[in-house]
Amino acid sequence: MNNRKDFLYLQLADKIEAMIINGTYSIGDKLPSVRSLHAEHGISISTALQVYVHLERKGWVEAREKSGYYVSYSRQQLLRLPEISAPSRTPALVKVSERVSLVRHTVAREGIVSLIGASPHISLLPVAKLNKALRQVAREEKNTYIPYGDIDGYLPLRRHIARLSLAWGGSVATEDITVTNGAIEAANICLRAVAKAGDTIAIESPTFVGLLQSIENLGMKALEIPTDPVTGICLDQLETTFKKGKVAACLLISNYNNPLGSCMPDKNKQQLAHLIAQYQIPLIEDDAYGDLHFNAERPRTIKSYDRADLVLYCSSFSKCIAAGLRVGWIISRRYHERLSRLKFMSSAATGLLPQLVLTRFLDQQRMDLHLKPLRQALRTQQAQISRAIQQYFPADTRLTRPEGGLSLWVVLPPKVDGWEVHRKALRQQIAFTPGSLFSSQQQYNNCLRLSNANPFDDDQHWAIQTIGKLIRQQLDGRR
């Protein structure tokens, strides 16, 4: 039988739970502190703590270190996860650029409500500190940024990049780093270093449209491999292609794949590093989202397990500091000389001014202090948009549950035409990305990629509600 203490904490927990359900507290709201519950309800500190422990176990709240308790939502209420993808097993030339052009210009429209965000909203980025760094560079560096820089990049910046690699399990020398114009140039150069036109590249399915365009522009073929929405690419299927000698290289987003949000477990990364060494197949690892993790620990990389030096590691500052500076990098010892030659042929060198600004910023800032509030904001925004999808989309919708990154992958009933929903949403000034853009074979037409990059305000809420309405109208046969 419950004693009075048990009754009090359960009674108060039920009241807070009811307030979350009826919307008095919204996802991301901070709840009263343990001491506030103690003072306002005349209960002990230990009993007040039990209230939040109970709600945390049920999935309604989450604890944040040195910050308190915040509203989350119940795991029991989540929509089902998508199934493992089942792409065609035949390599194909990629043809996505025409479809990309139909979406690319929509975000710039005046008054558009965007669910496309490729990088965090400007309000979440260190704009004032970057501006301070820019002023200091202009004042102190004078004409340093005028001439061409080193092909491999500004040495002090490469030192910072080498130090940052410790967070993902790396031990990197500055001479193994090539600075690029963002992660897309990095991927392009890496593809040219390990494959040629007509070669087949193994990719996740679905995968980032920018990587598909890189493969398309180089005249290569893509072989889509079944991918789990939680653990990433299916290694048994990938090994089968290795055995058959079908692929020249792999191109993967190991941490928080765009659009699925999948993150390969450490054991899978270790196994994949072993497989590429066994079959001597180079792997291009895009880790642009790895720093945007929601859990306490940053995920490791495939590169951290690479003993054969076959992983060409790519990343950038676009997703965590400033996309407009266009600064990315490649880490590879084995292919470094080839990458440097290709970089020179591609763009001679990356602009010195953005490298100087980033160097000054990193000289003065601890990345973890900047990233912590950014991660918390992205986590909250993801929870908010997920709750809205759950509320307004059909009940048989499937939805991913990424533990980091900027993307949510929505799988709608098979009869839904994602491009038609996209066309009608644009009429109402709402932009999102249709799912078929993330496949070389134009699969996933009943899927959408939605971004949690922007604060979830009234406009975003209305946009999700409107998209849900358009989907239901299509399913009901109304026009």
The total of structural domains in the chain comes to 3
- Last residue in a domain, options 45, 76, 107: 76
- Asked if residue 189 is part of any domain, the answer here is yes
**Domain shared by 377 and 314, yes or no:** no
**Domain shared by 206 and 322, yes or no:** yes
Omega before 229 cis (within 30°)? no
pLDDT score at 479? 47
**Domain shared by 337 and 395, yes or no:** no
Give per-10-residue mean pLDDT for the chain (479 aa).
61 86 80 91 89 82 86 72 94 90 76 91 95 94 88 97 95 96 97 98 97 97 97 97 95 97 98 98 98 93 98 97 96 97 94 96 89 91 91 95 96 96 95 95 94 94 97 83
Nearest-10 crossing angle of helices 45-58, 4-21: 50
Output the CA torsion 367→373→376→381 (10° steps): -110
Phi, psi of 26 (to 5 degrees): -105, 165
Q: Spell out a b/e string for 160-187, using b for 16 or more CB atoms within 10 Å of the CB, else e.
A: bbbebbebbbbebebebbbbbbbbbbbb
pTM of the model: 0.88
- Asked if residue 102 is part of any domain, the answer here is no
Contact in structure between 7 and 50 (CB atoms under 8 Å): no
Tallying the residues shown for the chain, one arrives at 479
CB neighbourhood size of 73 (10 A): 21
**Domain shared by 46 and 190, yes or no:** no
**Domain shared by 224 and 279, yes or no:** yes
**Domain shared by 350 and 378, yes or no:** no
- Asked if residue 26 is part of any domain, the answer here is yes
Contact in structure between 77 and 390 (CB atoms under 8 Å): yes
CATH number at residue 226: 3.40.640.10
- Asked if residue 296 is part of any domain, the answer here is yes
Bridge partner list, 331: 177, 313
- Last residue in a domain, options 364, 392, 426: 364
CB neighbourhood size of 338 (10 A): 15
- Asked if residue 432 is part of any domain, the answer here is yes
- Last residue in a domain, options 364, 383, 404: 364
State the sign of the Cα–Cα–Cα–Cα dihedral 414, 415, 419, 424. Answer: negative
Contact in structure between 71 and 380 (CB atoms under 8 Å): no
pLDDT score at 75? 52
- Asked if residue 118 is part of any domain, the answer here is no
- Domain of 404, in residue numbers: 79-85+372-476
**Domain shared by 354 and 411, yes or no:** no
CATH number at residue 388: 3.90.1150.10
pLDDT score at 296? 84
| Look-up of token digits 């739970």 | 17
User: Which residue from 253, 238, 248 is spatially nearest to 208, judged by alpha carbons?
Assistant: 253
**Domain shared by 167 and 264, yes or no:** yes
Contact in structure between 23 and 58 (CB atoms under 8 Å): no
Contact in structure between 202 and 351 (CB atoms under 8 Å): no
Measured CA to CA, the distance from residue 323 to residue 318 in angstroms comes to: 4
- Asked if residue 72 is part of any domain, the answer here is yes
**Domain shared by 328 and 447, yes or no:** no
**Domain shared by 353 and 379, yes or no:** no
CATH number at residue 33: 1.10.10.10
pLDDT score at 1? 39
**Domain shared by 357 and 379, yes or no:** no
pLDDT score at 263? 98
Amino acid at 351: G
**Domain shared by 329 and 440, yes or no:** no
Q: Spell out a b/e string for 102-133, using b for 16 or more CB atoms within 10 Å of the CB, else e.
A: ebeebeeeeebbbbbbbbbbeebbbeeebebb
Amino acid at 6: D
State the sign of the Cα–Cα–Cα–Cα dihedral 355, 358, 363, 366. Answer: negative
- Asked if residue 97 is part of any domain, the answer here is no
Report how far apart, in Å, the C-alpha atoms of 232 and of each of 181, 200, 398, 402 are: 27, 20, 17, 11
Nearest-10 crossing angle of helices 4-21, 34-41: 110
Bridge partner list, 399: 410
